Structure 1
């Protein structure tokens, strides 16, 4: 299809729609004006055309009538009551020599002579009726045009978008192919290529003159774009990275980290096999049917749903019911069943009964994931500072900050291990193991030993950070810091910050508990209303599950996003680079094949 044959009809309809909308606005404005004097049944076409008399109709504020009559003494004024008590119409009849005086007086009261546009009956009541009928007619026409446009949008949207995309590609390529110095037969393409593609580039351009050189100009180095080169699965999460800016040259791409942690976070908070599979199905639908960014977001939703389904196996739940007691799975999971070998995974993180032990276990997992996430971010910050040459800041602030954080986290774990006997954790009577710590360090890592080591680590970290902060304040007095403020910031700010950031990850477990509690409530209500034999019970369980999926799914998405954007990115990420742009942009509606002549 040629572009005009596809575009002509929609373009004409859009033009008609614009003209119709303008006409409706015009008639509506006239109607609102005539609304005031529509009761008058007089022909005003001859007003202002008399040879010896000045005759005109004015609409005034009723309260000004007496003042106007006094100002125009000797002039004939006839007053007409209108539909609005605040407004009145006056017919002024005067000698032509007094016309300027009449107009000047009435203008001082913000009143001008009333005129009905040409083409309309000059009788106000008839003009009002015509305006009403025109508005009705045009409104019907507008609705018809909208209906036609909707049909064309559905029918030709893809073709029009394909033409638009082709035109944009042609424009971009032509702008890229610069012709230097007004030459007719030569063009120059200048840009950047990934270093690993140098040999391929030379091979592809050997029929032309091509030059590849390393970038040494400092100004040009600042213009180097960033090419995100991730595997297909990881590429799905680039939308989150791009929301914080493209990583600068030499800065690690956070997308692989997001690709690892996002499914874990989302899956843990939304752990339910049934809900996860439904969410995955919806995401795949968007992936297949959607285009461009919608398709990418569909894949992200599908991955999130798959993670929730897998985590649902660990939680042992599907739609809030125990997997090992559901008909299709009960026989498969019991001894002798096809899935018995992996049955130990079902319910490994169960929160179905909401017991204290279950809650503590899920919070332990949540905090562990948070610690990994935060330590990774802090480590990346140290690497960035070292690369940028800020070694003193790294040694006196970034590294002690990570040891301070580790010490505080370990003390928290010791508190859990000592059964919350916080005041006596350091005592030798507490020979319990420390959650997570003992697993990695061995049996010697008991509460009393680890508590003492952690306290010393925290104190040493705080002291180093204070010394480093004071040194920085002396070296950079323009920052306005003083020793007292540095000490307060480290002693209170940093320690509280470490606690706050860690506790923030407790939301992973809390959201799972909320999800389980909501499903438990819905399922209990379903049972109490009569189960499958009751229409009300069926409406309750279907509506309840859909509601939980929509609300919880959105909340969990927001919480996952927050943990990445606020807890992770803010610790180390700078971003702000220009994205690498190909000569041939990414196409959605077209497939171009570049052929050699």
Structure 2
């Protein structure tokens, strides 16, 4: 079984040792702290005030993390850009929790974060002022030719005037109404696509009539009060804009040389994250007057490590540690850790996408891996595509330092390159071109490939039914093993023999033997369902109903024809692309043709790999898992560091006198 064996650990120690122990457990990164029900331990000496203090501390760390992330997000766009390849090649620096604390002691995290948040606020204020000044500049630029104050118009005795705008019109109707009126003297200040800016002068005695004319022309009075001439104000605004630009430039230049501060911010985030996780875990502990109790799950093989870690930081008489086996009642609670070899582990991604197994189930990963390899290769089948995937993943794995999750995904696709190449050789295709040797032609042997697809499907269904029978026997359900597993294997075995006898070997004896096996297996299913039920009559009926599921099995078998369909369609599309390129004149094939070849096959590779990935998973989830697998387990959620910016050293290095 590829599910790691787990142990339940209970740790009791003094309050003053709590932080040390939590830090030591966090450094191990494999211990999941569980919420210990206080009701199991009787009346406890913990006040609501202490809980409130702990929750306030958690909120404080959450706020500090949020501020640190804001500061980091603000700084990073202003730093010199690194190439993606260089970033991928750089490995995360390894630090222990103690070393992380030592690094933090070299600077003030609070002052560092405040510095960048202040800079961010300063830039925001500059940008807000710039936005306001740009609007003001646009307004003043329009009126820069106005060489008097509009308020002065009211001081004249016999003549007065107005300053304002009239909207644009297709035939310039509004502005012409003003210019053609004998009572008005119109001076046009500016014109744009929306309006005309004008100054008007007229006799005070005509003021009432002028008002009517202005209304008819949709004249809008200028309400702005200028402190000086618009041209002078414009220059002042432009000078201020230039000054703000220089301030921004100075800030950007300062930020551009703060690569070291970026690293300090990363360390700060890691530091606060580590503290936050430890404080959150305290909510799961039970506190008495002098002692606290912690409970959690740990892999059996890691138990010696935690014992050694505890001994290295506190005296043995300062704590008590009990290690218990997992009880049947805990099967639904215990977290699941999948433990597979290097060749199977990458396929744990497929299992996790569906659902992790429960602790008492089997890990389906070793069983699905060979089927997924065959199915993916059959659907993506092309030697050229496989070679490209092989080289790309191999180079990436050798050159780049991925995080563990990405590393596993890259290994997953690297493994998939092998069946893609193998099936490409069998189909005789290389980037859609036919190889000199072809074992199965995607154009001439479609029926053979179809039969092969169905055969693979039947084999996988048989395998799933066998696993179902194995699990039922494991649970001491012999009747279930027969009715849900062995019986159906017998039915399908009989049907296969029957078809071979009738359609291929023309053997009546073989056909009769197959029919007898199929019918006998069906009868056995009915008997097993009856014997396994408390209500025999109901069990007898359920046995017949169970046989009705044969229609579902037929649908499952038909579903495997997609292995043929996708493999043939991918090869046909690649062949069609090559034919298109073949129509290009010879001189163009080595220029435009090369670019077209790369573009078209890149599209086909993407679609082919995506289809093979999705449909391969679909066959596993529905047709295979549907026969035996339930899932519903939960992943281990250990107390650990975030490891977003650093790699935590896998060793105990915690001071006996205290921790961070």
TM-score (norm: length of structure 2): 0.55
Aligned pair 1:552/2:608, yes or no?
Answer: yes
Counterpart CA distance in 2 for 1:155 and 1:586 is 21
Aligned ranges 1:235-250 → 2 under 5 Å = 235-250=345-360
Matched, 1:566 2:619: no
Post-superposition shift, 1:584?
Answer: 3.6
**Residue in 1 aligned with 2:572?**
517
Deviation at 1:409, TM superposition (A): 4.1
Aligned to 1:495: 550
SS of match in other structure, 1:577: coil
The separation in 2 between residues aligned to 1:552 and 1:154, in whole angstroms, is 42
Partner of 1:590: 647
Distance 1:374 1:20 in 2: 68
Equivalent position of 2:425 in the other structure: 313
Higher strand fraction (1 or 2): 2
Residue 276 (structure 1) aligns with = 386
What's the CA shift for 1:157? Answer: 7.9
| Aligned counterpart for 2:441 among listed residues 339, 351, 356 | 351
Q: Which moved more, 1:251-260 or 1:586-595?
A: 586-595
Counterpart in 2 of 1:263? Answer: 373
Q: Distance in 2 between matches of 1:552 and 1:216?
A: 45
Q: Distance in 1 between matches of 2:310 and 2:338?
A: 24
Residues 415-463 of structure 1, C-alpha deviation per residue, up to 9 Å, x if partnerless?
Answer: xx6xxxxxxx54xxx7x55xxxxxxxxxxxx754432222222222333
Does residue 579 of structure 2 align to residue 527 of structure 1?
no
1:451 aligns with 2:511: yes
> 1:262 offset after TM fit, Å?
1.9
Distance 1:21-1:398 versus aligned 2 partners, 3 A rule? farther
Task: Kindly state the Cα deviation for residue 269 of structure 1 after the two structures are TM-superposed.
Answer: 1.0
Please give the per-residue CA displacement for 1:322-341, whole angstroms capped at 9, x wherever unaligned. Answer: 344xxxxxxxxxxxxxxxxx
3-state SS, counterpart of residue 193 of structure 1 = strand
Q: Does 1:291 align with 2:403?
A: yes
Question: Does the 8 A contact of 2:530 with 2:536 survive in 1?
Answer: no
Q: Aligned partners of 1:500, 1:261: CA distance in 2, in Å?
A: 19
The count of residues paired between Structure 1 and Structure 2 equals 444
The structure-2 alpha-carbon separation of the partners of 1:469 and 1:179, relative to structure 1 and needing over 3 Å to count, comes to: closer
Aligned to 1:227: 337
Measured after TM superposition, the shift of residue 548 of structure 1 is 0.7
Which residue does 2:636 correspond to in 1? 580
Q: Provide the rounded CA distance (Å) in 1 between the counterparts of 2:369 and 2:129.
A: 54
Distance 1:155 1:254 in 2: 47
242 and 191 in structure 1: CA distance in 2 versus 1, 3 angstrom threshold = same
Task: Tell me the residue number matched to 1:541.
Answer: 597
**1:269-320 deviations in Å (ceiling 9; x for gaps):** 1111211222344445765364353443333233223431233233332211
How far off its partner does 1:471 sit? Answer: 6.7
CA shift, 1:408, in A, is 3.4
- Note the C-alpha offset of 1:228: 1.1
Cα distance 1:447–1:563, how it changes in 2: closer, same or farther (>3 A)? Answer: farther
Change (3 A) 1:364 1:154: farther
Measured against aligned partners, the alpha-carbon deviations of 1:4-32 in whole angstroms (never above 9, x if no partner) come to 576456645776899999999xxxxxxxx
C-alpha displacement at 1:240, in angstroms?
1.6
Distance 1:523 1:227, change over 3 A: same
Q: Compute the displacement of 1:536 (Å).
A: 4.5
Distance 1:231 1:152 in 2: 46
Deviation at 1:405, TM superposition (A): 2.9
Q: Give 1:251 shift.
A: 1.0
Cα offset for 1:549?
A: 0.7
Following the alignment from structure 1 to structure 2, what is the Cα–Cα distance between the partners of residues 284 and 155?
Answer: 33
2:485 to 398, 415, 424: 398
CA contact (8 A) 1:410 1:451 kept: yes
Structure 1, unaligned runs of 5 or more:
25-119, 123-132, 325-345, 418-424, 434-445
CA distance in 2, matches of 1:22, 1:281: 51
Deviation at 1:266, TM superposition (A): 0.9
- 1:389 is displaced (CA, Å) by 3.5
- Report the equivalent of 2:295: 190
* Structure 1 match to 2:43: none
- Whether the aligned pair in 2 keeps the contact of 1:176 and 1:189 (CA below 8 Å) is no
Q: 1:382 aligns with which of 469, 476, 485?
A: 469
Change (3 A) 1:574 1:554: same
| 1:556 to 1:486, Cα distance in 2 relative to 1, 3 A | same
Q: How far apart are 1:391 and its partner, in Å?
A: 2.7
**Aligned-partner Cα distance in 2 for 1:300–1:499:** 31
> Given the alignment, which residue of 155, 171, 178 partners 2:276?
171
2:368/2:620 contact within 8 Å kept: yes
1:531 positional shift: 4.7
Cα distance in 2 for residues equivalent to 1:306 and 1:364: 23
Q: Deviations over 1:560-581 (max 9, x none)?
A: 1101111112221122223234
After superposition, what is the alpha-carbon deviation per residue over 1:83-131, rounded to whole angstroms, capped at 9, x for unaligned? xxxxxxxxxxxxxxxxxxxxxxxxxxxxxxxxxxxxx989xxxxxxxxx
CA-based RMSD of the aligned residues comes to 5.0
Paired residues of 1:286 and 1:299 also in contact (CA < 8 A): no
Structure 2 counterparts to residues 126-165 of structure 1, below 5 A: 163-165=268-270
Q: Distance in 1 between matches of 2:362 and 2:128?
A: 54
CA change 1:218–1:523 in 2 (3 A) is closer
Deviations 1:191-247 (A, max 9, x none): 233345555655555563554443375544542222211123322121221122221
Residue 395 to residue 166, structure 1, CA distance change in 2 (3 Å): same
The answer to whether the 8 Å contact 1:408/1:499 transfers is: no
Q: Secondary structure at the match of 1:522?
A: helix
The TM-score, its normalising length taken from structure 1, stands at: 0.61
Q: In the aligned structure 1, how far is the partner of 2:452 from the partner of 2:522?
A: 28
